[in-house]
């Protein structure tokens, strides 16, 4: 896991080395501030960290401070006795949402679970086509319709089909066009209501996919979606392509939502469960002896 994380955060670690080329046993507050800024941690959060730290910072001090932002409940196995367990996947276009759904489907397959996909991003024909290609590649059934059709109807049909076929997991794609925010909000709310009609308490989890290359700016997206329908957890993609790996700290602090997974590449297996302690240690390994 550590080797994978070091690869994922390679660019972030390279950015850290630009301001802290030599590892030390202790660093100053000023040095720590420069490191966190370079890794795209929000300045307000950096100030909070510095207020809690001594003037000479050792690894244990830094670890305890950084890990403190992950004080949320993040039990991925929670409530998985429900069948089908319905996940609604949310995120703006371009964040890697459809590919992430394929990765989640593969994740469940590897655990021996059956999966059904719902192509409810009917705003874009490309989204339906892309998800259908992934379904065919992974040999997973999919419920879809034509572009422009009612996405809530897809939600209902997907859940109804999964219930009748005793499918373990349902993964529903959704539209993510924030430039028509009001319409999108009403559409997503209707989809959530429809899911609940198809199966009580569905969707059981609403997961937001964030583009790691956007750094801390993705927090505003998350807040908008959270206000629309309430988000249960986060998946962060494309961290391997950015030096903004410190934004994970800002996202966790601002949203107080569990980060369930991070994407590590473009293939279906390129998804790992996020573990806060391993993430923090990966960063600190680049700073301290």
| Residues in the chain, total | 289
Highest mean pLDDT among 47-51, 71-75, 216-220: 47-51
Give mean pLDDT, residues 40-47: 95
Query: What is 85-274's CATH number?
Result: 3.40.50.300
**Start-end ranges of CATH 3.40.50.300 in the chain?**
85-274
88's enclosing H/E stretch is strand 85-90
Which pLDDT value is given to residue 2? 55
Neighbouring residues of 164: CB distance < 8 A, sequence distance ≥ 6: none
On average, the pLDDT of the chain sits at: 92
Q: What is the pLDDT of residues 80-111, one digit of tens each?
A: 689 999 999 999 988 999 999 999 999 999 99
Give the other-Cβ count within 10 Å of 51's Cβ. 9
Tell me whether residue 265 is exposed, middle or buried, using C-beta atoms within 10 angstroms of its C-beta: 0 to 12, 13 to 18, 19 or more: middle
């Amino acid at each position: 896991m550590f080797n994978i994380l070091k690869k994922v955060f390679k660019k972030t670690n390279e950015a850290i080395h630009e301001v802290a080329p030599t590892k030390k046993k202790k660093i100053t507050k000023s040095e720590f501030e420069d490191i966190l800024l370079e890794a795209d941690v929000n300045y307000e959060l950096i100030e909070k960290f510095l207020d809690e730290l001594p003037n000479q910072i050792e690894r244990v001090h830094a670890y305890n401070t950084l890990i403190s932002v992950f004080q949320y409940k993040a039990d991925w196995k929670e409530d998985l006795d429900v069948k089908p367990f319905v996940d609604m996947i949310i995120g703006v276009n371009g964040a890697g949402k459809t590919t992430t759904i394929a990765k989640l489907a593969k994740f469940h397959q590897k655990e021996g679970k059956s999966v059904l996909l719902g192509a409810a991003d009917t705003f874009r024909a490309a989204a339906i086509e892309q998800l259908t290609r992934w379904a065919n590649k992974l040999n997973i059934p999919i419920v879809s319709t034509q572009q422009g059709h009612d996405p809530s109807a897809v939600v209902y049909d997907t859940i109804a089909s999964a219930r009748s076929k005793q499918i373990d997991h349902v993964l529903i794609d959704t539209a993510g066009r924030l430039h028509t925010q009001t319409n999108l909000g009403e559409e997503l709310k209707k989809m959530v209501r429809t899911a609940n009609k198809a199966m009580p308490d569905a969707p059981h989890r609403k997961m937001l996919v964030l583009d790691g290359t956007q750094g801390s700016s993705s927090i505003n997206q998350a807040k908008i979606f959270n206000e629309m329908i309430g988000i249960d957890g986060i998946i962060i993609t494309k961290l391997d392509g950015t030096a903004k790996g410190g934004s994970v700290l800002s996202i966790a602090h601002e949203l107080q939502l569990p980060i369930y997974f991070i994407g590590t590449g473009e293939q279906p297996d390129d998804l790992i469960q996020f573990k806060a302690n391993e993430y923090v240690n990966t960063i600190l390994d680049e700073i301290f002896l």
